[in-house]
């Protein structure tokens, strides 16, 4: 006979050890005896039952806000202030930054295609560099050089983070990601379906969201919240809450003990006694 022990674990980012400061996206929680190994343990599961996650992170953050370019082989840099932008705001900011850098470049957003065009005057040779952290947002991937007009190959992407992932190094499971084509300790993926400055209210709706754990004991767990690029979310010091359910499946030890006690015992001291594991095997076979 198998029985289940369901344990609710309520986590709030303000209660744990903040491993990346005010980002609040890598938090460690220390428990005592959350999961203890014993011979009756069959398997364990972890489920993210619900989560309340603030959309306090920005479209442009400190991981993707720098444009590197050269002007007649002279290095130039534009740093976009962290925040939320629409297309017109981005164009205005780029143009004022080019002006500040002494670059005769004018950015225009094509309203039909969503692609940025940069008109170059004054006989300058301009190269947008692929080392720019903002390149995917602006719409390019490799170096682009021109003396007259740079038309980026892809649309300006100001959608921001479309999905966030709840990971844990301590909760071992069998999730995989296409980012590295390898395993990753993801226990939930959550769409970002709310606008900035609102709240994502996530609720698990399927048993498929239950993760089998490889853990047989657990005293510590961590929560890491990352985006599609596996970069930590910056929650700007605004707290989140997550409720987990730890499901523990065990054999009924009273039934096992009763059955073990009824097994015949040998009186021959020269014969090796049946081990506890062998008795359990006989019980399962019966």
pLDDT digits over 222-242, tens only? 999 999 989 999 999 999 999
> How much is the pTM?
0.81
Using alpha carbons, list the distances in angstroms from residue 7 to 156, 232, 249. 46, 28, 11
Categorize the per-residue pLDDT at 284 as very low, low, confident or very high, splitting at 50, 70 and 90: very low
Is pLDDT at 70 greater than 60 in this prediction?
yes
Is pLDDT at 256 greater than 90 in this prediction?
no
Q: Which of 198, 238, 205 is nearest to 50 (CA)?
A: 205
Looking at residue 33, its pLDDT comes to 85
Mean of pLDDT values over 167-184: 84
Categorize the per-residue pLDDT at 255 as very low, low, confident or very high, splitting at 50, 70 and 90: low
265 compared with 49, residue with greater pLDDT = 49
Q: Are 276 and 71 in contact (CB under 8 A)?
A: no
Is pLDDT at 257 greater than 80 in this prediction?
no
d(CA 198, CA 85): 16
Is pLDDT at 272 greater than 50 in this prediction?
no
d(CA 60, CA 218): 37
């Amino acid at each position: 006979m198998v029985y289940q022990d369901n344990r609710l674990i309520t986590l709030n980012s303000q209660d744990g050890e903040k491993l990346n400061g005010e980002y609040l996206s890598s938090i460690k929680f220390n428990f005592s005896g959350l999961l203890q190994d014993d011979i009756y343990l069959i398997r364990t599961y972890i489920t993210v039952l619900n989560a309340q996650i603030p959309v306090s992170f920005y479209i442009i953050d400190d991981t993707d806000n720098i444009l590197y370019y050269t002007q007649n082989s002279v290095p130039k840099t534009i740093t976009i202030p962290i925040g939320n932008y629409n297309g017109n705001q981005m164009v205005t900011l780029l143009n004022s930054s080019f002006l500040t850098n002494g670059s005769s470049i004018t950015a225009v957003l094509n309203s039909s295609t969503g692609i940025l065009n940069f008109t170059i005057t004054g006989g300058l040779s301009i190269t947008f560099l692929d080392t720019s952290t903002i390149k995917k947002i602006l719409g390019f991937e490799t170096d682009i050089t021109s003396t007259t007009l740079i038309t980026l190959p892809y649309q300006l992407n100001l959608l921001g983070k479309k999905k966030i992932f709840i990971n844990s190094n301590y909760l071992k499971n069998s999730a995989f990601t296409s980012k590295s084509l390898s395993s990753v300790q993801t226990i939930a993926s959550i769409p970002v379906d709310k606008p900035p400055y609102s709240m994502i209210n996530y609720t698990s709706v399927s048993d498929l969201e239950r993760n089998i754990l490889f853990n047989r004991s657990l005293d510590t767990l961590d929560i890491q919240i990352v985006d599609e690029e596996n970069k930590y979310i910056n929650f700007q010091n605004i707290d989140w809450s997550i409720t987990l359910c730890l499901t523990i499946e065990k054999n009924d030890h009273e039934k096992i003990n009763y059955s073990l006690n009824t097994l015949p015992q040998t009186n021959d001291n020269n014969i090796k006694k049946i081990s506890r594991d062998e008795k359990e095997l006989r019980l399962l076979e019966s």
